Amino acid sequence: MDGHARTPLVGTHWGHFRVSADASGIRDVQPYEGDDNPSCYGASLADGFDTSVRIAQPMVRKGWLETRDGTGRSKGQGPFVPVSWDTALDLVAGELERVRSTMGNEAIYGGSYGWASAGRFHHAQSQVHRFLNGIGGYVSSRNSYSAAAAEVIVPHVLGLSPYTVIEPSYEEILAHGSLMVAFGGVCPHNNQVVPGGVLRHNDRALLSQFRERGIELVNISPMRQDVPAYMDQTWVPIRPGTDVALMMGIAHELITHDLCDQTFLNSHTVGFDDLAAYITGKADGCVRDADWAAALCGVEAGQIRALARKMVGRRTVIALSLSMQRAEFGEQPYFMGIALAAMLGQIGLPGGGVGLSWGNNGRGLFGTRRVNFSWGKLPQGSNPVEAFIPVARIADMLANPGAPFDYDGQRYQYPDIRLVYWAGGNPYHHHQDLAKLERAWERPETIIVQDSVWTASARRADIVLPATTFLEREDVVCGLGQSVSFSAQAAAPYAQARDDYAIFSDLARRMGTHDAFTEGRDSATWIRHIYQQSRDNAAAAGIQLPDFETLRTLEVVDVTDQLPRSTHPLEEFHNDPLGAPLGTPSGRIELSSERLASFGYDDCPRHPVWLERKEWLGAPLAYRFPLHLLSPQPQNRLHSQFDFGRASRDAKIEGREVMIMSCTDATQRGLTDGDIARVYNDRGETFVGVRVTDALMQGVVQLPTGAWYDPDEDGIDRHGNPNVLCADRPTSRLAMGPTAQSCLVQVDKHTGPLPEIRVFTPPLIERAED
């Protein structure tokens, strides 16, 4: 332990690691000694100074210097011209001033995403938004690529955020539960990642107890591996995109055999009669029973009926993964999943009811002791600009200024964006249909990217500002977990990289907002200030945290034992629906919503409905593209972070991302383990390595997200990025979320020469500044 104490402890979103470095770079990375199930992602930290991907100094695209527009930007070929920090910051400040003085701040889009750093201060999204708010605001985005449909539909049904309704925890299920019906599985590798970090990965320890406690687990997913091998499971393979049909087949069995908890439905819900009339066919003549569902989802009708009866008379939780709602009409599986749990009458009971965003961001891990105060954070100020977009509609916004769009019951217009400022994020990872994004990316006059590595977005920027990584700066890490830690600086900044705060401070000085942006604090003072906010908030809740210097010495402080035991977020409502109403118009669970009906959306009406998607195995398009592509989160990196690192690159085949396919589908195409395949549809094409398995249903292939986008001159991706194949189509007019999981493709064996992967080679850099 003495040896560990001399090695810096670094906090990340996927855990804590001890990192030692010298002038030559990272020498060694070891997991935090208190974590007995550390993430494999940590191995990639040793590659944090890979010179082939790090941005060494400020860069400006030569074509932009000549034309001051986006011509040729989306090709990502450069060349770039290195410039001094003063030159780069003068250019950025000049562009910001030009755009806001001629077009207004409504012409500035402040893009970012929150995963760049686990620290409370060095959080790129907070930094860029604080800076832009200080100069008059920016066009913002709402919701997330991960959970947009859930984030909008759940408040209409439950009157709560889906991030509030994440229960019951694994601890509660072990104590009170009997059956978990997991739509989309539990996917433990997703629980390795927690916003703000997690001190101990206890998911395996908890899930391993399901077997010995006799908790039955039904995995409803095309992929058996969505449940780990150390758990017993009943695997129910289902065609992607048909979960709602299966739920309705189960509901029909409950309704027609008087197996619903009618007392709960009468006292805690509204609109059940509308939904029941739809499912039984009284409303439109279509009986949505087990036979109807079986024809759509590929699960035998007898199995559907048996599952319905299995769920009655025992403590049952309906667990819904986020993957289901990242699809066409993605609001519906969450809407119907909540309705199914309501029919069982167990919403709000420990170990029962419904669990949302399951197997994601540590959901279910933290038991009945939860942080009951707010951690301090960098204030972002207020944004005077009212214009916004749903987060996944960036390509539509850039390409169609002034066009109308619907969102959550209102009609808006896309703003006319002339400048994009992106810090700590990579839209070319999150977004779908990259060919469409490429075209839209040409339109803004100026794109500024502030990042540490040459992502696809940085390669397609006009001005690139090199930022440090979390390895190169101090911070305080605290998040959904029950601990706070001091994250040390493990290494000196790479080349000319600067902290985001230093960059924005210098920009604010040029824009005349330096005093307001810094409030007279440097980074070290801000970190202490934010931690003191946490101490004060904790003390008000009866939790004692040490002073900052003591935290530095201790490195980690676990507050679990100080936290009070909390109840299920819906427990009070379950026990007293009149005295503890929900935030819906009726105060109850709305299985049929007058508010949704008033919007007039045929793609998200008043109650759950089955809507046939454009891309699923029952669609006419499946004759041309007979395989349904699923693109889950990767098992060896966070999103696209550290794709250049050893944990990610060692898992690839001939440098390509690995696609999993069934034995039957592979045999039909002459493919075996380790082969290279071409995956394509009308939107794009990419090369992948192949792994063959019997744990995936026929007709489905799986290609994880996060391989850095590497197109050739014809736009063919060389590296295995699924987003070249996925449609940029909104879930519905309600949430306008992404639909990556609704994607049909064809796969052929590739036998010719393989194109060279170039994405880990810096773009062309023409000459140094005089």
Which residues are designated catalytic? 113, 115
Residue type at 199?
Answer: L
Place of tokens 């590659």: 47
Which tokens belong to 20?
A: 């030692």
Q: Which residues contact 728 (CB under 8 A, 6 or more apart)?
A: 392, 395, 396, 431, 432, 433, 436, 437, 738
Task: Determine contact, residues 726/629, Cβ cutoff 8 Å.
Answer: yes
**HEC string of 128-149?**
HHHHHHHCCCCEEEECCCCCHH
Give the pairing of strands 589-590 and 269-270.
parallel
> Which residue in 88, 83, 17 sits closest to 487, CA to CA?
17
Angle at 121 between CA 4 and CA 552, to 5 degrees: 30
Q: Rounded distance, CA 57 to CA 693, Å?
A: 45
Output the six-digit token pair for 210.
């399901």
Q: Which residues contact 386 (CB under 8 A, 6 or more apart)?
A: none
If we measure between CA atoms, which residue out of 341, 343, 446 comes closest to residue 73?
Answer: 446
Q: Using an 8 Å Cβ cutoff, are 139 and 388 in contact?
A: yes
424: left (phi over 0), alpha (psi -120 to 50) or beta: left
**Edge to edge, what strands does the sheet with 446-451 contain?**
80-82, 59-61, 463-466, 446-451, 419-423, 108-112
Residue 627, SS3?
Answer: strand
The end-to-end CA distance of the chain, in Å, is 51
Kindly list the distances between the CA atom of residue 598 and the CA atoms of 155, 276, 605, in Å, as whole numbers in the listed order.
16, 20, 9
∠428-433-437 over CA atoms, to 5°? 55
* Chain center to CA of 297: 26
> What is the rounded distance in angstroms from the CA atom of residue 397 to the CA atom of residue 409?
19
List the structure tokens of 334. Answer: 């969450």
d(CA 57, CA 452) in angstroms, rounded, equals 10
3-state secondary structure of 626: coil
Residue whose pair of structure tokens reads 């087990």 in the numeric block = 290
Give the span between the Cα atoms of 522 and 467, in whole angstroms.
17
The radius of gyration computed from the CA coordinates of the chain, to the nearest angstrom, equals 26
Paired residues of 60 in beta bridges = 81, 463
- Asked whether 273 and 262 are in contact (CB, 8 A), the reply is no
In angstroms, rounded to a whole number, what is the distance separating the alpha carbons of residues 175 and 350?
Answer: 8
Half-sphere exposure at residue 322, Cβ-oriented, CA atoms within 13 angstroms? 26
Between the alpha carbon of residue 40 and those of residues 205, 230, 706, the distances in Å are: 17, 18, 16
Rounded Cα distance, 686 and 716, in Å: 6
Closest C-alpha among 337, 348, 356 to residue 570 = 348
Strand bridging mode 59-61 / 25-31: unpaired
